[in-house]
Amino acid sequence: MTLSLPTPRKYGFHMNAVGMIGAAIILFWVVVAIVAPLIVPYPIGLIVDSNYLGPISAKFWFGTDYLGRDMLSRILMGARYTVGISFAAAILASFTGVTLGMVAASVGGIFDTIISRFLDALNSIPSLLFGLVIVAGAGSSITVLVLTLAVIYTPGSFRFSRALSVNINAMDFVAVARARGEGTRYIIVEEIFPNIIGPILADFGLRFVFIVLLLSGLSFLGLGVQPPNADWGALVRENMDGLPDGAPAVIFPSIAIASLTISVNMLIDNLPKRIRDRSE
Amino acid sequence: MSNSAARQVLLRLGVMALSLLIVAFVVFFATEMLPGDIAQVLLGQSATPQAVAALRHEMHLDQPAFFRFLLWLGGLLTGHLGHSYANNMDVASLIGGRLENSLKLAGITTVVSVPIALTLGITAALFRGSLYDRIVSMLTIFVISVPEFMVATLAVLVFAVHLGWLPALSFTYDVHGFFNLLKIYAMPVMTLGFVISAQMIRMTRAAVIDTLNTSYCEMALLKGASRRRVVLRHALPNALGPIANAVALSLSYLLGGVIIVETIFNYPGVAKLMVDAVSTRDMPLIQTCSMIFALTYLLLIAIADVVAILSNPRLRKR
């Protein structure tokens, strides 16, 4: 007699290979951003070679930049700025946007109208232009960059989470909770939020990509992270002189940006159904 | 056009005017609320207090900020754009020729890329699921998920460095002959074209596929019409509205693209002027350039909205 065990319940998420690769690359850059100062082969400001815009060699894996500094070290440290600033800005934008969106959806009325109109108006300013104007006015310290990027992408996050929350808010279990006498705070934290968290995570990834692109664009124009520090966009700008010769110093930072943004897209498109469709 | 459509269109235009006012407000206060005295900065440390006070009065710096905002807004509307801090030239004359250059670049890009993008989008929908469709989709996703300057660097690497067909990062003013002109415009136009086409292709493809999923298209297919006929005769006419909407929306991506492209290729347009003005903190110039960009952007968005309204027969005929 065979004794069949009940099939074990699966707790893990199933993700296809493309999504896994995306997740692995993102994880790689996050780890690099954290441990960069420990693993750089040369100090980032140090001019290590008289050969500027040098080719790939055993000593300098990614070549040297326009001053003869080691490119590998600069890219590893650049991850700190690109990933760090973008992540901080994306968290800030999503947190503000989602909170406001949930509150607007559950409170409704005049509060909802005012906040929706205001954020829509903010959204009608083209993002790169917004960045340029703020940087012109307030300079480009890292705090200003994070805040600017967060402000630019808050309206999108608000709209998305408000649309989701309005649907949840109309459901029976929310009506029941209200009838029980639960306050707005409880409704938001216990009823609405757990039901929109999946799509919100996917939206967060998308917003992160937009922010990386905008930050790189600003830095590329020389208006983002300022020397001697450099994020990947600034690294491309610094070494533009090497472009006509196809120097690795221009190509590798570009590849770094693309690898990050494309892998986030890959991950979002292949998120496990259990996360993506949790609201349904 | 019926009443309800006219009302909707007017509403959109009203919203656009309001947005423009808010943008003006943000632009003005972001650039004016700087710490420090502009009059003092302009005249230098050695200026006498009287001279500084006189300049402050002349620039209305002794007036409340909101009054200066109204004054500036009035100036914008009547064409008095003020003077550049950097070289004391009239902002209007600084911008004049460059606006023409930028519009030329944007115009050529639009004329070249819209037909190509539409063809690619429609054919991708026509052969949905095929290898061709997948390649087009993958390329558009790639272009969308990398920064604009990377598209430009790639174009330079391929066409100037490896193939040697086009000059790299140079823009000269004296060009002789049509062929040379073509060569100089090729790179910026190509880069910008890639950036705006990617969005257009995606949206066009989605619009056609959306209409293909309707029951009347299924019916046509069941009656034995060829796939080609269903797409071109049945789906496309109804997808035209969304497609025109997609085109107008994608053109608003020209804006971000043009700022990067003009900087990379050293193209003498408004965007390059503005980026330079930001580095020198030349506020009057930044304000005017921002307003030009915001106006263009909002106009394109409004056109997209209006097209969407007009193309909806339910709104048009009621």
What size, in residues, is chain A?
A: 280
pLDDT tier for residue A150 given thresholds of 50, 70 and 90 = very high
Other C-beta atoms lying within 10 Å of the C-beta of residue A181: 7
Cβ atoms of A157 and A207 within 8 Å: the answer is: yes
Q: Is A223 an 8 Å CB contact of chain B?
A: yes
**Neighboring chain A residues of B27 at a CB cutoff of 8 Å:** 133
Q: Which of B33, B256, B274 sits opposite A126 (nearest CB)?
A: B256
Helix (H, G, I), strand (E, B) or coil at B83: strand
Residue closest to B262 by CA, chosen among B72, B109, B93: B109
Q: How many helices (H) and strands (E) does chain B have?
A: 15, 0
pLDDT tier for residue A94 given thresholds of 50, 70 and 90 = very high
Interface of B with A in 297-316 (CB under 8 A): 297-298, 301
Q: Which of B153, B263, B301 sits opposite A250 (nearest CB)?
A: B153
Among A101-110, A112-121, A129-138, B309-318, the minimum mean pLDDT is found in: B309-318
pLDDT tier for residue A100 given thresholds of 50, 70 and 90 = very high
A53 DSSP assignment: T
Rg (CA), chain A: 23
Nearest CA in chain B to A220: B149
Residue closest to B230 by CA, chosen among B113, B97, B146, B125: B125
**Can you tell me the distance from the alpha carbon of A144 to that of A130, in angstroms, rounded to the nearest whole number?**
12
Block residue for tokens 């906040």: A115
pLDDT at position A4: 62
**Can you tell me the distance from the alpha carbon of A274 to that of A205, in angstroms, rounded to the nearest whole number?**
17
Q: Is B279 an 8 Å CB contact of chain A?
A: yes
B294 to A133: CB separation less than 8 angstroms, yes or no: no
pLDDT at position B99: 85
**Neighboring chain B residues of A244 at a CB cutoff of 8 Å:** 156, 160-161, 168-169
Top residue of A141, A206, A221, A262 to mutate, by most chain B CBs within 10 Å, is A221
B150 to A258: CB separation less than 8 angstroms, yes or no: yes
* Per-residue pLDDT tens listing for chain B (318 residues): 567 778 888 888 888 888 888 888 888 887 776 655 666 666 666 777 777 777 777 777 767 777 778 888 887 777 777 777 767 777 777 888 888 888 888 888 888 899 999 999 988 888 888 899 889 988 888 888 888 888 888 888 788 777 767 666 555 555 566 677 777 788 888 888 888 888 889 888 888 888 888 888 888 888 888 888 888 888 887 888 788 878 887 887 787 788 888 888 888 888 888 888 887 777 888 888 888 888 888 888 888 888 877 777 666 554
For B245-261, give the DSSP string: HHHHHHHTHHHHHHHHH
Q: Number of A to B CB contacts under 8 A, please give it.
A: 129
Using the predicted structure, report yes or no on whether residue A171 has a pLDDT greater than 70. yes
Question: What is the sign of the dihedral through the CA atoms of A106, A112, A118 and A121?
Answer: positive
User: CA geometry: angle at A250 spanning A247 and A254, to 5°?
Assistant: 140
**Can you tell me the distance from the alpha carbon of B111 to that of B244, in angstroms, rounded to the nearest whole number?**
14
**Neighboring chain A residues of B283 at a CB cutoff of 8 Å:** 136
For A20, the enclosing helix (H) or strand (E) is: helix A17-39
Top residue of A86, A119, A132, A263 to mutate, by most chain B CBs within 10 Å, is A132
- For residue B274, report the phi and psi dihedrals to the nearest 5 degrees: -70, -45
Q: Which of A221, A258, A261 sits opposite B275 (nearest CB)?
A: A221
User: CA geometry: angle at A138 spanning A133 and A144, to 5°?
Assistant: 100
**pTM of the entire predicted model:** 0.83
End-to-end CA distance of chain B: 9
Residue A214 structure tokens: 């905008």
- All residues at 6 or more sequence positions from A43 whose CB lies less than 8 Å from its CB, including other chains: A73
Q: Which of B26, B160, B259 sits opposite A244 (nearest CB)?
A: B160
